[in-house]
Amino acid sequence: MESTFTINGRIWLEKDGEKVLGHGRVELLERIHNSGSIRQAALQMKMSYKQAWDIIKHMNTHFSSPVVIPQRGGKGGGSALVTENGLNIISEFHQLQEKLKKFLEVNSVNIAY
């Protein structure tokens, strides 16, 4: 009898030992960027608006400059914009993800216990 396993992994950004950015938060940022709305992004990811808003508040205060600028009232009731800084962070994280993917591929060979 033989069993094979795969190695998987995750990376994230920390500040003072606290998680600030990871897989899920990047996806949230991307969906806000595409929809222009925190609420729509949250709906797409099946999370509550509160949860999404808490995350954004946390990120906005932990990066040197905000990653999302929300605006309430006005056309469509309001909107949310991902900043240049936010877009850079998304891009940087994707590059790291790519590197991790390669790392996992290289080390995933022939593991059977």
Q: Which stretch binds DNA (CB under 7 A): 8-16, 18-26, 69-77, 92-100?
A: 69-77
| Triad 89, 90, 92: Cα angle to 5° | 65
Q: Sign of dihedral through CA atoms 16, 103, 95, 46?
A: negative
From 49, 94, 98, 104, residue interacting with DNA (rule: CB under 7 A): 49
Closest CA to 89 of 36, 26, 31: 26
13 binds, among a second copy, DNA, none (CB under 5 to 8 A by kind): a second copy
58 binds a second copy (CB under 8 A): no
79 binds DNA (CB under 7 A): yes
CA separation for the pair 40, 112 (Å, rounded): 44
For the chain, the farthest-separated pair of C-alpha atoms sits apart, in whole angstroms, at 65
**In angstroms, what is the minimal distance from the CB of 107 to DNA?**
28
From 46, 50, 64, 72, residue interacting with a second copy (rule: CB under 8 A): 64
Q: Can you give the binding site for DNA, defined by CB under 7 A?
A: 37-40, 46-51, 53, 56-57, 70-80
